[in-house]
Structure 1
Amino acid sequence: LDKDHSRAAQPTAPVELTDATTKDFWAMYTAGVARYDQGHFRDAVTTLRHAVDLNPQDAVAWFALGNAQVALGQREEAEASYTASHVLRPESWVALYHRSLVRFERQDDEGAERDCDAALALAPDEPALLLNRALARQRQRRFAESERDLDRVLASPRMIARAYFVRAAVRAQQGNNSGAANDRSAGFATLPTDFQSWLARGMAWLPADPQRAVADLARAREINPRSVAALRNLAYVNSEFLDDLPTAISQLDDALALRPEDADLLASRGVLHARNRQFDNARRDAREALRLDATAQTLLHSACVFALTGSEQPADLDRAASLVQRSLQQEPSWLPVVLKDADLRPLQDHADFRKAIQAARALSQANPGINTLE
């Protein structure tokens, strides 16, 4: 379920808060939106929360609060905010659409599908809803139903080009390799007409043609200059496929200028600094990321930073092992990712790292329902 929390428009002008404006719903709402546009998501959540306290009947304010909460990773809270927005404006499908995104991220595939069903009752044949429902059904391994939704997307006058790549994956999962190959060819041959499809086609070129990937991702950024997703993906291609760490770091610099409180961006840049042997910068990014966030993803990326800086300061290896342990305690399904991550190789012989691996394996064996991320 693709999304990008940045906005194509220019940032909203800052709003000064005074004793008077803090009692004014519109002033608080516009201030919260401005903070969101500037990437200050914690302030945005606080300000928009105050706005909905002043006017709990405003559906748009609840929706804006949900967007800010998603950007902070507060998905449970965002789900509640989108629910409030939809209750207040039941004739609109937009809040349902965004709640489906949140539920998909929370691994609630059935809930995401129900939201798409309800939204499609309000907006029949809306391609974005059909695509999102197809993804939810795909993850439930209901491939035939997923493919039917994708057929409708691709037959729509407002066809979404990235649906070719999704249908290719669904067909491959059903053993239809020739159909999957045809869809990939069609996806590459179709000129995207929307930002997300430029992103999708860009990533689909990998690993075969990273230069074309960069070209498509750069086009996505031209369409939406404030897209963090485009910058993040460009940094990924440059660092992982083109061995161009300076360019990748610069692209994450640009992303952090848009979202300065994004812990995952900070930790990711820290990893690239560490690979580039800029150890002080790497540690600084990891520490700031951990100050902002303690989710499994941030913990794991920060562990990669300290595993790499451990070649200069051996004590960093202890911290890295501890962070891996905390990450796997939150998300034992990430064990395969940890075992394959080259940045964590310096920890292979660390006793605490080995204990963390053993504990995650034991938990997975005791709870076979845990889905592992390959």
Structure 2
Amino acid sequence: MRRARALTPRCRRGAMILAVTLFAFALCFAQDPSEEADPIKLFELGQNAHAARDYARALQLYDQALALRPEFPEAEFQKAMALLALKRTDEALSAFARVVDLRPQWAFAYASFGAALSTLAGREKEAETALRRALELEPQNGAALMALARLRYRLGAVAEARQLAQRATALPEAKASDWRERALIERASGDLQAALASLNRALAIAPDDPAIRLDRAQLLLALGEPNRAREDLRIAEAHLQDDAALLTIARLWSRVGERERARNALAKLSEAAQQDPEAIILRADLATGELDASTRAALERALARDPQNAALLAHLGEAYRRIDPERALEYFRRAVQLAPQNSDYAAGYGAALVQARRFAEAATVLQRVLALDPNNYAAHANLATAFDELRLYERALAEYEWIRRARPDLAIADYFIGRTLDLLGRYEEALAAYERFLARADREKNSLEIERVNLRLPRLREQIKRSDGKRRG
């Protein structure tokens, strides 16, 4: 058997240093024996672990404290909160029952536990009971008022939620976050001006809060104030870099017509978020002209991952409408099947039928769309084309005139009105429409139509002269 070699002096010194280091390390993390017998110190250690989100360790320490002092409501309460964080909800409810047995008038405990419980699906009833008890004990408890307002809002009781939020924000200690949540509820109730006033109050408390700025930008756009929204968007984008915020910012930049800014915001998304269907759809919307093959492929990959996404189907329908009408029809058909109340998808289906030259079917679909959504511009435009191709000129004329009223800036509408009146033999009215068109037409964009009108006008004026403005039978 070989003898072990003795350590050299240098190795012995190294081993000694390592041993001392490990001993010191162990001392740092060992629990002081005096603490093991002191429930207050154990409770404080538990709170430290709780604050560090080490819920399992916190729970262990709270249990040790309670073993030494069974009637310790603060430790029992923190134990209930740790159990909630660990998703051990039934045990948390049992622990909280012991809390209120020990201290039945403790409003803070009811408010905090109820607020935490309200975030868990399926526990709304227990949460509401705890929060209402908190308010019985302390009617001006702001935390309980806002937590109950959030809960009632989620349950669809918007009017009551609004009243609760108003009570919470009337308190002198109301925070910017309370005013922000009040604004959310007011917007849901349809009172956009009240929501704007609440967001203004929130920003008076926290002027640099980018999330509140983003909320106000969205609200200002809903109120038709894009210029004011731009400043809030700039501030929000400078500070918010998470994917959800960036996607919202990109969508809002797109809505105010800042397409390049919208693309830049999309470019900041993480690689995973770039594949989100909403990001892909927005990127497609921001593309200039026809969607290229790579964008169509991205939409199709997203659809393969999420085949029930009606918005993706509708965007693919639009992407293929001009290059492959039959394929577009199938995409739109599926979108309408998934979201039958979405008039835009149905209008897209009608447009694809027009592109496929199935005009009678298109007219039927588009008239149904307009029965539900009388101001759907795309439906009116495509129905005008369908009636025109079916030679139902009086009905086509009604659609073209609607387009002219809806879009008085659109000179081409006068061209189609003039052409349709011309086909109906209403020559003087046709001439007036043609002249309106020529006065406003864009020389580059409308060059073909301008040429056709100029070729037609001499003959039309001659016909008017011969027939007193009407076609003879």
Partners of 1:245 and 1:272 within 8 A in 2: yes
1:321 paired residue number: 266
2:73 to 98, 121, 125: 125
Is contact 1:299–1:327 with CA below 8 Å preserved after alignment? no
Checking the alignment, whether the CA contact within 8 Å between 2:152 and 2:158 is kept in structure 1 is: yes
**Uncovered stretches (5+) of structure 2, i.e. residues with no partner:** 1-39, 67-71, 288-294, 306-473
- Measure, in 1, the Cα distance between the counterparts of 2:203 and 2:91: 39
Amino acid at match of 2:143: Q
Alignment counterpart, residue 199 of structure 2, candidates 247, 252, 258: 252
Which stretch of the first structure deviates more once superposed, 286-295 or 266-275? 286-295
Distance across 2 between alignment mates of 1:306 and 1:132: 41
Q: Provide the residue aligned with 1:266 in structure 2.
A: 213
Question: Counterparts in 2 of 1:32-111, with a 5 A limit?
Answer: 100=50, 103=53, 111=54
Output the CA distance in 2 between the equivalents of 1:295 and 1:198.
30
Structure 2 distance, partners of 1:308, 1:282, is 10
* Contact 1:348–1:354 (8 Å) recurs in 2: no
Aligned CA distance change for structure 1 residues 294 and 119 (closer, same or farther; 3 Å): farther
**Matches of 1:247 and 1:185, distance apart in 2:** 30
2:92 to 134, 138, 146: 146
1:78-103 per-position Cα deviation (integer Å, ceiling 9, x unaligned): xxxxxxxxxxxx96978975884674
**What is the match of residue 385 of structure 2?**
none
Confirm or deny that 1:284 pairs with 2:231. Answer: yes
Match of 1:114 among 57, 62, 76: 57
Structure 1 residue 191 corresponds to structure 2 residue 135:
yes
The one-letter code sitting in structure 2 at the alignment partner of 1:321 is L
Residue equivalent to 1:215: 163
Seq. identity, %: 17
> Quick check: 1:347–1:353 contact (8 Å CA) kept in 2?
no
CA pair 91-146 structure 1, distance change in 2 beyond 3 A: closer
Structure 1 stretch 94-103 or stretch 296-305: which is displaced more? 94-103
Q: Structure 1 residue aligned with 2:249, among 293, 296, 302?
A: 302
Structure 2 counterpart SS, 1:272: helix
Query: Which residue of 2 is the match for residue 205 of structure 1?
Result: 152
Structure 1 pair 116–245 and aligned structure 2 pair: CA distance change class (3 A): farther
**CA shift for structure 1 position 225:** 3.8
Aligned in 2, Cα 1:198/1:258: closer, same or farther, shift over 3 Å? same
Quote the Cα distance in structure 2 between the aligned partners of 1:345 and 1:184: 39
2:314 maps to which residue? none
Letter in 2 for 1:137: L
CA distance in 1, matches of 2:271, 2:191: 29
State the alpha-carbon separation in 1 of the partners of residues 258 and 73 from structure 2. Answer: 58
Q: In the alignment, is the contact (CA less than 8 A) between 1:271 and 1:302 conserved in 2?
A: no
Matched position secondary structure for 1:161: helix
Is the CA contact 1:150–1:167 (under 8 Å) kept in the aligned structure 2? Answer: no
Whether the 8 Å CA contact 2:142–2:168 is kept in 1: the answer is: yes
Per-residue CA deviation, residues 209-229 of structure 1 (Å, 9 max, x unaligned), is 212111111222233444122
Aligned runs of 1:154-173 on 2, under 5 Å? 154-155=100-101, 156-157=103-104, 158-159=106-107, 160-162=109-111, 163-164=113-114, 167=117, 172=122
| Conserved 8 A contact 2:165-2:182 | yes
What is the rounded CA distance, in whole Å, between the counterparts of 2:211 and 2:271 in structure 1? 14
RMSD: 4.3
- Structure 2 letter corresponding to 1:161: Y
CA distance in structure 2 between the aligned counterparts of 1:134 and 1:224, rounded to whole angstroms: 33
Conserved 8 A contact 1:261-1:292: no
CA deviations on 1:168-212 (whole Å, 9 max, x unpaired) are: 776937xxxxxx646646755763523211111111212432121
Larger deviation, residues 209-218 vs 347-356 = 347-356
User: How far is 1:137 from its partner?
Assistant: 2.0
Against the structure 1 CA distance between its residues 248 and 212, is the aligned structure 2 distance closer, same or farther, given a 3 Å change threshold?
A: same
Q: CA deviation at 1:345?
A: 7.6
Q: Counterparts of 2:206 and 2:296 in 1: how far apart (Å)?
A: 32
Counterpart of 2:267, as a letter, is S
- How far off is 1:245 after superposition? 1.8
CA contact (8 A) 2:183 2:198 kept: yes
Structure 1 pair 96–185 and aligned structure 2 pair: CA distance change class (3 A): closer
Q: CA deviation at 1:154?
A: 4.3
Distance 2:45 2:208 in 1: 25
* 3-state SS, counterpart of residue 208 of structure 1: coil
Rounded Cα–Cα distance in structure 1 between residues aligned with 2:185 and 2:83: 27
Q: Distance in 1 between matches of 2:50 and 2:233?
A: 31
DSSP-derived class of the 1:260 partner: coil
Pair 266,165 (structure 1): closer, same or farther in 2 beyond 3 Å: closer
Residues 262/183 of structure 1: CA separation in 2 closer, same or farther (3 Å cut): closer
| Runs of 5+ unmatched residues, structure 1 | 1-89, 104-110, 174-179, 363-374
What does 1:350-361 correspond to in 2, within 5 Å?
350=286
The Cα of 1:237 is off from its aligned counterpart by: 0.3
Q: 1:202 to 1:265 in 2, by over 3 A?
A: same
- Structure 1 partner of 2:428: none
Letter aligned with residue 249 of structure 2 = S
Residues 46-71 of structure 1 show CA distances to partners (whole Å, capped at 9, x for unaligned) of xxxxxxxxxxxxxxxxxxxxxxxxxx
